[in-house]
Amino acid sequence: MTIMARVSREYLLQIVSFAVAILDRLLIPAILLRTIGVSGFSGWTVALAMAAFVPVLDFGLVRHFSIRLLSLRAQGREADAINEYRQGSLLLFCVSVIATAVLIVWLLVEPPRSGDPAVDEIMPNLLMPVIAAMLLNQAVSLRQALFRAHQQFGRETILRSAGDLLRIAVICSAALAGVPLVTLGWLWLASVVAGLVVPSIIDTRRRFPQFSWRWPVFRPGEMGKAVRASPGYWLAAMSTTIFASVPLLALGYWAAGALAVAQFGLMRTIANLVRQVLQIFANVFGLELGRRYALHDEAGFAKVFGEANRFLGTQAAVAAVLLLVIGREFFSLWTGRDGLFDPIMLALAIIPPIILPGMILSMEALGYAGRQWAVVRLRLVQAMVTAISILFLPIEDLGLRMMAALALGEIVGLGVPLLWAMRGVNGRLTVMAQLSSAVWVVGALICTALFLWPVEMIPHDQPFSRIAAALVLSAVAFLAVTLLFGLSGERRSMVLAQVQRRFSRSGLPRQG
Residues 239-298 pLDDT 10s: 777 777 777 777 766 655 666 777 777 778 777 777 777 777 777 777 778 778 878 888
Highest mean pLDDT among 108-112, 114-118, 427-431: 427-431
What pTM value is reported for the model? 0.64
Determine what percent of the chain is predicted with pLDDT higher than 70. Answer: 87
**Structure confidence at residue 472 (pLDDT):** 92
Is it the case that residue 508 has pLDDT exceeding 50?
Answer: no
Amino acid at 166: L
Instruction: Report the chain's C-alpha Rg in angstroms.
Output: 23
Q: Residues 315, 486: contact at Cβ < 8 Å?
A: yes
Cα 27 to Cα 483: distance, rounded to the nearest angstrom: 31
Judge whether residue 436 has pLDDT over 90. no
- If one compares 338 and 143, the residue with the highest pLDDT of the two is 143
Mean pLDDT of the chain: 80
Angstrom distance (rounded) from CA 29 to CA 23: 10
Q: What is the structure's pLDDT at 512?
A: 39
- Contacts from 165-169 at CB under 8 Å and sequence distance 24+? 165/20, 165/23, 165/195, 166/191, 166/194, 166/195, 167/24, 167/191, 167/192, 167/195, 167/196, 168/20, 168/23, 168/24, 168/27, 168/28
Which residues in 4-39 are b (16+ Cβ under 10 Å) and which e?
eebbeebbebbebbbebbebbbbebbbbbbebbebb
